[in-house]
Structure 1
Amino acid sequence: MKLSKEVKTGILAIGAIMLLIFGYSYLKGTNLLDKSREFYVKYDNVEGLAQAAPVTINGLTVGKVQDITFANSKGGLVVKFTVEKDFDFSRNSIVRIYSTGLIGGKALGIFPQYDQYVAKSGDTLRGDIEDGMLTAVTKALGPLEKKVNNTLATVDTLLLNVNAIIDEETRKNLKQSIANLNTSLNAFAGVSKSMNHILSTNSGKLDNTFTNLDKTAGNLSKLTDSLAQLETGKIVADLQNVVDKMDKIVVGVNNGEGSIGKLLKDDQLYENLEGASRQLEQLLQDLKLNPKRYVHFSVFGKKNKEYQPPANPER
């Protein structure tokens, strides 16, 4: 059966139209043969999100953005996207616009929730926008900017107070103080120069002094070694022996042993010695007062006079 030219032309036209539709869909990022699920999400601002942008779940690309249109006259936007993978998630999941890199474009990220309400094709999901780097930096710098402004205000107030305090008289005093400080520094430099001259001139004497100090330290070290080598134990033992002997002597004297002990403890001996001493004293006094009684020459002899005690025996 032969086809007429009209039929062939019609088939060719239909094929061309089909090819045109497939090509146009391909250029838009839509695969007409794909059984993908379609979802919608609303935003006030899509932050530069474009068609054919990837849609990811946990970093895995599962679809792409199909279309972005205005939802109403107030500027609201509706993003249509497809999910190709057979992955179920709740219609309460969040679809967030995020940046793919520092200088990259935008993408949609599905943050799935898992409950009994499974999302079906055609559902509208909740939208969210991730803070961009500029927004994050701006938020981070917000408190810092406030602190800087407060600091600048404080510094400004401080400078005003300083200007109010530092009048002409105060400036003169400050200049005078700086001049005095400069003079003191110059004087210190002169003293330092003199000290350097003295040290350089007397370096030999200083060397001798340090040498003598070193010798003295050596002698002290030798003396310390000598003292350390003394038999301190033997010396202490000898001293203890002497103390013990002295203790024995004192105990013997207290007990009346020996001449000293008897003299201290024997009352009779003490009285005898005292009587003998008294008689000897009387004899000496009588000899002094009456020497003729003891030394005399007589041819015919005379009768000895009796002893008469002196009126004052103490003399």
Structure 2
Amino acid sequence: MNVRTAEEITSVIRTALQAATWAPSVHNTQPWSFGVDGDEIALRADSDRKLRIGDAAGREMLISCGAALMNVRLALRALGYEPQVRVLPDPDRPALLATIRPGAAVPADESARLLYAEIERRRTHRAGFTELPVPERLVETLVAEAEGEGARLTPVRSEAAIRVLAAITCAAQDVQSQDRALSLELIRWARPPGSARADGVPAEGYPRTPRRTRPHFAQRDYTHGHPWGNESDQFFSVSTGVVAVLTTKGDSREDWITAGQALQRVLLRACAHGLSAAFHTQALEMFHLREFLRQELCSQEYPQMIMRLGVTFDEGKGVRRPVTDMLEER
């Protein structure tokens, strides 16, 4: 049975769009827009929010949009509808990434409900983790979630490989910090304390004086010399956590969208079990470093995300633009 009344359609679409807005995105750029035509949602890339220097090809933008697509799918399943999704449906409209319709009514999926409930709770972490262990069985579950979406999540077990990933992340951060154009681009998405903006990285979203993990994974510098950051006690947050790399076999626009969907499914499952994630994309924004990782550590697959997973007691406040700001006429 399909959605029948206009009221049902409106309610379902509104819920799905609201869920989409809470997807993670690079620097919280929220690089998406939506169109609605009856019971069809069109997901589009918003090129005005693309990082034109750090993400010239739009890879991170499409990964972000893939995460938004996953949220729409989960919302529909949680409401009891089978999502009908077409990815990159029109070659003549490259900004149109997907169309989604609520299909046949089906029993509400318990797993989807669980993940859907985490959508607004999930937060990006930008520091170390506590020493509390991540259960191996949970790690296996996260690997299975990524695999179910057509991507591969590989926990990095080798200490040597972890050191390589940490070192290459620090090297990329050091190089990028010397690039004036890249630094100015980052400044655009760094929010000072008290800012009313509903996008970008808030000053409360990272510690003022973060402790170094062992080995150390460099974080982005959103402060630019200002005394910004939260005052949370980071005394126990010195663990690197579980290091993992998300890869895909190909590196097309469709692969990037797939990576985004897999990433968000992993993040929500992790959040449901008390885990947070920290992202490190600096090396993946430099072709030669990304290619080195692909050949030396990723079994020839394309690295789409480097992350750390662990337990933290910090709960930041998320900021998102209202849905009305993201709607476009079709």
Report the TM-score, using the length of structure 2 for normalisation. Answer: 0.17
**Larger RCO of the pair (alpha carbons < 8 Å, separation 6+):** 2
Bigger CA radius of gyration: 1
**By percentage of residues, which structure has more helix?**
1
